[in-house]
Amino acid sequence: MNFYGSLSVFPRLPMKIKGLKQLAYNLWWSWNQEAEDLFKMIDAKKWKESGRNPVSFLSKVDYQRLQKVSQQQAFINKYNQVMNHFNDYLQQEETWFKDNAPISIEEDNVIAYFSTEFGFHDSLPIYSGGLGVLAGDHCKSASDLGLPFVGIGLLYHNGYFKQKINGEGWQESLYPELHFSQLPITPVKDELGEELTINVKLLDREVMVKVWEVKVGRVSIYLLDTNLQENSKDDRKITAQLYGGDQETRILQEIILGVGGTKALYKMEYSPIVWHMNEGHSVYLELERIRKLIKEEELSFNQAIEVVGANTVFTTHTPVPAGNETFPFDLKEKYFASYWEDIGLTKEEFMDLGQIYEDDDEFCLTVLGLKLAKFSNGVSKLHGKIASKMWQDIWEEVPPNENPITYITNGIHTRTWLASEWEELFDEYLPANWRMKIKDRNIWENIREIPNDKFWHTHRKLKSKMIDNIRKRDLERKRRYQDITAVKDILDKGALTIGFARRFATYKRATLVFNNLERLNKICNKTDKEVQLVFAGKAHPADKPGKKLIKKIHDIAESKEFKGKIVLLEDYDMNLARYLIQGVDVWLNNPRRPLEASGTSGQKSAINGGLNLSIFDGWWCEGYNEKNGWVIGSKERLKYTDKEEQDLIDSNSLYTLLEEMIVPLYYNTNDKDLPADWINWMKEAMISIIPKYSTDRMVQEYTKRLYMPATIKGIKAKKDNYNISKNLVSWKEKLKNNWEDIEITSQNQGEQGTFNITDMIRFTVKVSLGELSPDDIQIELYLVTENGKEKIDIISMDLKKELENNKYVYSTDIKLKEIGSYKYTFRIVPNEDRLTNKHELGLVKWIK
């Protein structure tokens, strides 16, 4: 039967506990254990059955039960405590942002954060993995720190796919319809009380888009939805699935996100001071902003780019070429021909925005983002370097280490991922305000004072909880396929347990540990020193090699040698992730270096005492300190003859670490049957990782290094009716038009002889500036120290003499601080006082 619609009926909450509805519709509860405990007190069984979703839970709990608990003093006391904390949090006036923002921010001025996915909680399944979970954690810390912040995303009515692994080990994808009435979302209303919608033009039609709101503590996330009766059947499907459909579906989703999200913010009367694009999926917001400036402020295209770029932040997340989305030119032309005509560009000028070279055959969203944003970053120190090299040709003459891409290392929202059992123990041994001082390492040093027996008991409790959950999941799966294997034989609660859970992309090498099954068999099945491994993750439905990895793990897990020692779990989500990262002893991560941009699952495990066993890639390059985990392979980036050689070297290193270090350390117990040395490593992992890799630290860095500079640049760009920006564009055009005519020469060529460490050395150049002036440029000595590790110093040179015909002499006197060998050269760059980054134009004139 085809039903016309659906609805849900909520019980009317007793007056004494009417605040439960507000609490249910604010995801603050998801990182405050006391709030979750409050819902559990009402009906623990229904809470579990509802998937820990308070909106669904309140729609199903008996009204009589609600009446009963509202009369119980213990519940009312707990309710009042939670609601007081919740309301105090929402109304808090003194926040980190207020104390640290260099300028005052008006109420409608916000940091607008665009992301194609958000992972806040498993009850709102509009995320696929790391990118979405990072976005969710980013928003939570923005709330905690009091940032004026809103998020923009899409509301997928099928979410991301649900994964089933059939009896033969093949992944199957299911797309159940989400019931919006059961989700913590509410329609945004306009000033007339009507549901807010905006229109986005796609080809010859207008698509209507509805705006929903999700409350995440003090911040709002706005989600866009095209599944409206007013739209055609095809247009209703635009927001059906996250990462579903073909390239045309993707470009439509990204237009709705970028263009529609921008229109929605303006219609809600927000005036963003910063626009943050989390990956390239949302870059069309820049095109919409440019169009608005050209049409309403009568700016030229280049002037509009200047204004828009001034307060735009672009974060790139992947060093994998396939992760940087591209579109064929004919598809771009189909949806953007009217755009470039509307703003007076040629097709070639528009396509150039997404190209590095003239012969590029596709339009790249990452290139567009990097060209339009004045502030760009990678997501770890190593990834910043990789991204700078990967995109160096956008600024062709600029050394990669100097181009405008910086880095801010990812973190995690500590309160979301830290087990409540650890919180209770920390309450006993850490200062009372530890939750407010996540970044303070001194706070976490107190972990060393926790008695080993209590510490180990907490870990064992979480490990037992994880294994119980795994056994239940495995039983449910096997019942589907009439497998009657005894689930009680799956995993030993006392054995060393290693977890691997992530997207099954081939570069993450999920099956590296199976490179030598004979050797692994000896490791896993050594009497009294057994090792067991738990795997979870999804392969994109279109990723056949990824699906084959799942099949391979399934087959090995079902083999006689590894039955019960290796377990493959289906439908990895945030809920399963919590069990794993809170329960395993070791977290395994072995991507093909350097293809892991950052990774945060290892951070989540470490804050719960898990020890990382990882390739020296992503965040682990910064997090590893030789006492909080292990490095697989070399810390140096080696050159391999092929991937097989790399896999062989890394897998041998992995086995050796297990055999010689990890297994002996875990099973080395004292007279109290406690692995004291292992516990010390666990404590070190917590102490070294918790304060450094929180999103509190991360968002504070974004604020100080990107958001506030972008705010100030954005304000300046609009000043005097955009005259500052107009003049800046004219100056940049003057530089570009005359750059080839400038010349630089020097007598300091070749071998300059030998100097003492105390000698003052003079470097002199003569420059011919053509139509430019000394105020337009700066002259630099580029000095490289060649003593072991290469070190670069860039020294500004001073104008000493003006010659005829617009020629000048510059020089600098320096004392070299180290003995050894040096190389040097000279260059001319634009005057960086007028720029966000002196290399944003990519103009460098090196001496020949």
**For range 517-540, the mean pLDDT:** 97
Taking only the tens place, the pLDDT of each residue in 761-815 is 999 999 999 999 999 999 999 999 877 677 899 999 999 999 999 999 999 999 8
pLDDT at 320: 79
Between 461 and 10, the higher pLDDT residue:
461
Taking only the tens place, the pLDDT of each residue in 815-832 is 887 888 888 999 999 999
The pair of structure tokens assigned to 112 is 């607008």
Pairing of strands 205-216, 186-187: antiparallel
Taking only the tens place, the pLDDT of each residue in 139-170 is 999 999 999 999 999 999 999 999 999 999 99
pLDDT band at 638 (very low <50, low <70, confident <90, very high): confident
Query: All domains of the chain, ordered by start, with CATH?
Result: 15-91 (no CATH), 106-411+702-719 (3.40.50.2000), 457-693 (3.40.50.2000), 742-846 (2.60.40)
Amino acid of residue 623: G
pLDDT at 172: 96
Whether 347 and 334 have beta carbons less than 8 Å apart is answered as: no
3-state secondary structure of 378: strand
Cα 407 from Cα 698, distance rounded (Å): 11
What mean pLDDT, rounded, does the chain reach? 94
Question: What DSSP state is assigned to residue 582?
Answer: H
Amino acid of residue 447: I
Taking only the tens place, the pLDDT of each residue in 736-760 is 999 999 999 998 776 566 777 778 8
pLDDT at 11: 67
pLDDT at 27: 98
**For range 82-97, the mean pLDDT:** 96
pLDDT at 759: 82
pLDDT at 323: 77
% of the chain with per-residue pLDDT over 90: 89
pLDDT band at 225 (very low <50, low <70, confident <90, very high): very high
- Kindly report the length of the chain: 848
Cα 726 from Cα 11, distance rounded (Å): 59
Taking only the tens place, the pLDDT of each residue in 50-83 is 999 999 999 999 999 999 999 999 999 999 999 9
Per-residue H/E/C for 739-801? HHHCEEEECCCCCCCCCCCCCCEEEEEEEECCCCCHHHEEEEEEEEECCCCCEEEEEECEEEE
**For range 564-578, the mean pLDDT:** 96
% of the chain with per-residue pLDDT over 70: 97
pLDDT at 38: 97
Per-residue H/E/C for 462-520? HHHHHHHHHHHHHHHHHHHCCCCCCHHHCCCCCCEEEEEECCCCHHHCCCHHHCCHHHH
pLDDT at 479 over 90: no
DSSP string, 28-45: GGGG-HHHHHHHHHH-HH
pLDDT at 286: 97
Taking only the tens place, the pLDDT of each residue in 353-382 is 999 998 899 999 999 999 999 999 999 999
pLDDT at 487 over 60: no
3-state secondary structure of 224: strand
pLDDT at 3: 60
**For range 307-319, the mean pLDDT:** 96
Taking only the tens place, the pLDDT of each residue in 595-627 is 999 999 999 999 999 999 999 999 999 999 999
pLDDT at 535: 98
pLDDT at 614: 98
pLDDT at 277 over 80: yes
Taking only the tens place, the pLDDT of each residue in 390-445 is 999 999 999 999 999 999 999 999 999 999 999 999 999 999 999 999 999 999 99
pLDDT band at 485 (very low <50, low <70, confident <90, very high): low
Report the largest interatomic distance among the alpha carbons of the chain, rounded to a whole angstrom.
95
Whether 257 and 251 have beta carbons less than 8 Å apart is answered as: no
Residue 424: count of CB within 10 angstroms of its CB: 11
Pairing of strands 777-785, 761-768: unpaired
pLDDT at 757: 77
